[in-house]
Structure 1
Amino acid sequence: MAWLLLVGAIAAEVTGTIALRFSDGFTRALPTVVALAGYAVAFWLLAQVLSRGMNIGVAYGVWAALGVSLVAVIGAVFLGDSLTWIQAGGIALVIAGVLALELGAAH
């Protein structure tokens, strides 16, 4: 159940971050509300994950790494942001680091 909540936290954070891009510095109401709600839901879900006993290093590492990776890919694919091979390699390294953190955690 904790992993499902973590996936929800990641989705909410990614939604909030993409909405932040469209908020135009918090001058557009709907994207601003979506951004703030996305972040609020993300932190609430992350808190629920931690209250269920997941290690904070693993939870935050997975949340941050997948969030950053998804935002970068969404930005490149849908929003016209650049994504160089070096940046793509960096994303792969971030994900590899989180996998190492998870695999090294005591179960």
Structure 2
Amino acid sequence: MVWILLGTAILCEVAATMSLRLVDGFTRAGPVGMVVAGYATSFVLLAEVIRYGLPLAVVYTLWAGAGVVLIALFSAAFLGEGLTPAQIVGVLLVLVGAGIIKLAS
């Protein structure tokens, strides 16, 4: 259950971040609502995951790391923001770092 909550928190954060492209200077109510709702839901779920007993360092690392990786991939795939070879290496390093922290906990 805790991993489902964490996964959902990650997806909510990614959806909110992707919605930032649509807010147009925070003048469009729908996308602004998506950003606020996505981040709020993500933080509520993160609090629940921590309440279940997962260490904060592990939770935050997985949440932030997965968010960075997914945003980079989705931005490249859906928004036409290409990834340079150096950026791809950076994304891979984020994945490796998050994996090490999870394995070490």
Q: Aligning the two structures, in what range does the TM-score lie when normalised by the shorter sequence?
A: over 0.9
Q: Aligned partners of 2:4 and 2:59: how far apart in 1? A: 12
Unaligned runs of 5+ in 1: none
Q: Aligned partners of 1:66 and 1:22: how far apart in 2? A: 22
2:6 equivalent in structure 1: 6
**CA drift at 1:24:** 1.3
Once the two structures are superposed, residues 47-69 of structure 1 have per-residue CA deviations (whole angstroms, 9 ceiling, x without a partner) of: 00000000001000000000011
TM superposition score normalised by structure 1: 0.95
Aligned letter for 1:67? G
**CA drift at 1:25:** 1.9
**CA drift at 1:89:** 0.8
What is the percent sequence identity of the aligned residues?
46
1:74 equivalent in structure 2: 74
- CA RMSD for the aligned pairs? 0.7
Moved over 4 A (4+): none
TM superposition score normalised by structure 2: 0.97
What secondary structure, in the 3-state scheme, does the structure 2 residue paired with 1:81 have?
coil
Aligned residues: 105
